[in-house]
Structure 1
Amino acid sequence: MQANSNRSLWLTLITACLMCLSVLAPVQAADDVRRIEHALGVTEIQGTPQRIVTLYQGANDTAVALGVMPVGVVDSWVQKPMYHYLRDDLADVPHVGLETQPNLEEIAKLNPDLIIANKARHQEVYSQLSQIAPTVAEATVFDFKGTVKLMGEALNKQAEADQLLNDWDQRVATLQNELKASMGDNWPVSVAVTNIRNDHLRVYLEESFAGTVLHDLGFEFPNLSSQRTWGVKLNSKETIPSMNADVMFIIFQSQDGSVHENFEAWSSHPLWQNLDAAKNERIYDVDLVAWLMSGGIIGANNMMDQLYTHFDIQG
C-alpha cells in the first residue's frame, strides 16, 4: 500500500509539473518576442533570425561584418553581381534583384524569417515585404552606423554590433589625432567630395555616406546648402567657386569616356584652376565603391584606409 501511495504521489507531482510547464511555455515564448522600432514602424521578431534577406548595399556589408550569412542579397551597383570586397563572403548567396526593385517572388521562395529593408528604397513595398517575413527598415542608405545598430538589434547580435561601433569610434579618434598632429594650425581641413558624371558634377556633403565618415573625423565642407543634406548637383561651370575646399576627392561615376571628357572640361576651366585644392595640388582620385556605393561599416573602414594613404599617415 505504501508503495502504491508513493507512486500515486509521484504521478501527481509529475502531472502538476507538466501542467505548470504548459502554462509557462507560452509566457516564455512571449518573452522571446522582441519589438524592434525602425523607420517604418515597429516589428515583432521571434527569437534569433536564421534566414535573413538584405535589400540594400549597406545591409549586405553589415551582414558580413556581423558574421551573418544571408539567404538572399541584392545586386551591387557596379562590379556585378557583388562588390569585390564582399565577393568571397557572399559568393554562394542567391540574388533577389536590384536595391531599387527587389523581386518579391524570389524573396518569398527563400522563406526568410527576417528582411532588412530601407525606407528610402522600399517604403512602397514595405507591406508586401512584411507579408513575406518580419521586415525592419533603416531610414537612409548612407547611415552605416544606423544600419549596424538596427541589424544588431534585429538579429539579436547587440554585443557584436556594439563592438563594431566601438572599434569604429576608436579608429576615428586615432586618425583624427594623427590628422591634427600632421596639419597643426591648418586643422580642421575642408574637403569637397566631387562625383564626376557624364553631364554634371555632384558634391557630397555631411548627409552622404562619404560625408558621414569625413564628418566623424572632423573635416569641414563647402557651404553649398543652407541645411544639412546629401549634397548638391552642379550643372554650370560658373558654380565652381562654390565648391572651394583645401582638399578635393574625385569619384568617377564610371570609366566611360564621356565621364572623363566632362571632368576634363570642368578641370581645365580657369575657375577650377583657382580652387585651393587645385593650386595646392591636393586633388585625389578615390575609389567609387568605398566612397560612394558600399554604404556599410566595412566600406567605411576601406574608405578610412584610403584617407591614411592620401594624407600620408602611417596607420
Structure 2
Amino acid sequence: MLPKFSRLLAVTAMSLMLPSAYAELTINHALGTTTLPEPAVRIVTLYQGATDAAIALGIEPVGAVESWVEKPIYQYLRGELDYTTLVGLETQPNLEAIAALQPDVIIASEVRHAKVYDQLSQIAPTVAHETVFMFDETLELVAEVTGKADAADAWLAQWQADADAFQADIAEQLQDDWPQQVTMLNFRADHARIYFQGFSGQVLADLGFERPADHLKDTWGMKLTSKESIPSMNADVAFVFMEDDDAVQQTYQQWTAHPLWQTLDAVQNDAVYRVDQVAWNMAGGPLAARQMLQDIRSHYGLD
C-alpha cells in the first residue's frame, strides 16, 4: 500500500485531471472579452443597477459602491446587503478595497469605469455594460457571469407578462386616450430638466407610453433655465422627481406657479405625479423597475 502522503498526491493528481463541473465562460461585453473558469460566486458591483440586479437574482455581492443618496445604501436594499463591503463611489471605486475582497468577478460599466478597466482587470476578471441604466441587460450580464441565466430569463418573462397586463388594464380604463404621451421632469436648485432617455424612459417604453415628438431625440434630455421654456414640457402625463432640498422645492414652487405651467396638458388633466427619485432615476435596476410599475399602477388606480 502507498504511504499516506503518496496516496494524497495521487488523489490530488487525479482530481486535477478530472473535467471541471462547469464549462469555462466567455463573456463578450462593452470593454472586451472576459473568460471565467466557472460561474462567479464572489462578485463586486460597481454601479447601482448591477447591485440591484444581483439582489434580484438572490446574490449578495461581497462588495458594492455607495448609493448616490440615502447613503450609504438605498433604503429599499437595506437588509439585503448586510454582509456587503462598500468600495467607494460609483465614479471613484476604491481599488485597494476591491482587491482585498478577492472577488471572482467585477461588474463595471463603460461609461463609469473605462479609464480604470485595466486596473480592475488586474484585480479580477472584469465585465462591463455600456451604460448604467439598461436594467434588463444588466440583469442578463450579472446572470451570465454567475450562472443564473435561468433565473434572469424567468424574471424577464414575468416582467413582460406584468407589462402586458398593465397595458391591457390601462387600455381598458382609458380607451381611446391610450397610449398616452409622457414626460419625465426633474427640478434642480436653479433649473429644470426634461429626461428623454435613461432608466425611467426604458421602463415607460416597456409599459407602452409614448413620447412627444420633440422629445424623440438621441440625447439624455434637455436643461431648462427659463420658465418661458415650460411649453416644451407638454405631454398627457408628467412624472416629476426631485431632491428633498429647500432650494429645489422653491424652484418647483416658482415654476409651477407660472401661468405657462397651467397650459400644460398634464396639469389640465390632473395628471402630474410626484415620484421617488431613487426608484425612478438613481437605482437603475430590475427591482427599481418593478417599483416604478407598482407606482404607476397606483397613480392610475389600477391596484
Aligned match of 1:214: 204
Following the alignment from structure 1 to structure 2, what is the Cα–Cα distance between the partners of residues 153 and 230?
Answer: 28
Question: After superposition, where does 1:181-196 map in structure 2 within 5 Å?
Answer: 181-196=172-187
Aligned match of 1:251: 241
Q: Is the 8 A contact 1:72 1:110 kept in 2?
A: yes
Q: Larger Cα Rg: Structure 1 or Structure 2?
A: 1
Aligned match of 1:71: 62
Does residue 251 of structure 2 align to residue 262 of structure 1?
yes
What are the ranges of 5 or more consecutive residues in structure 2 without an aligned counterpart? Answer: 1-10
Following the alignment from structure 2 to structure 1, what is the Cα–Cα distance between the partners of residues 21 and 219?
Answer: 41
Following the alignment from structure 1 to structure 2, what is the Cα–Cα distance between the partners of residues 33 and 309?
Answer: 45
Question: After superposition, where does 1:1-315 map in structure 2 within 5 Å?
Answer: 25=18, 28-29=19-20, 32-205=23-196, 207-225=197-215, 227-252=217-242, 254-314=243-303
Following the alignment from structure 2 to structure 1, what is the Cα–Cα distance between the partners of residues 15 and 286?
Answer: 44
How far is 1:23 from its partner?
A: 9.3
Q: Is the 8 A contact 1:222 1:243 kept in 2?
A: no
Q: Secondary structure at the match of 2:86?
A: coil
| Alpha carbons of structure 1 residues 293 and 22: separation in structure 2 relative to 1, 3 Å | closer
Q: Is the 8 A contact 1:72 1:94 kept in 2?
A: yes
Moved more, 153-162 or 230-239: 230-239
How far is 1:261 from its partner?
A: 0.7
Q: Is the 8 A contact 2:192 2:223 kept in 1?
A: yes
What are the ranges of 5 or more consecutive residues in structure 1 without an aligned counterpart? Answer: 1-17
How far is 1:97 from its partner?
A: 0.4
How far is 1:29 from its partner?
A: 4.8
TM-score w.r.t. length of structure 2 = 0.92
TM-score w.r.t. length of structure 1 = 0.89
How far is 1:222 from its partner?
A: 2.6
* Superposition RMSD in Å: 1.8
CA deviations on 1:102-152 (whole Å, 9 max, x unpaired) are 000110011111001011111110110000000000111110001011111
Moved more, 196-205 or 209-218: 196-205
User: Which consecutive aligned stretches of 4+ in structure 1 deviate over 6 angstroms post-superposition?
Assistant: 20-23
**Amino acid aligned to 2:261:** W
Following the alignment from structure 2 to structure 1, what is the Cα–Cα distance between the partners of residues 69 and 20?
Answer: 43
Following the alignment from structure 2 to structure 1, what is the Cα–Cα distance between the partners of residues 150 and 55?
Answer: 15
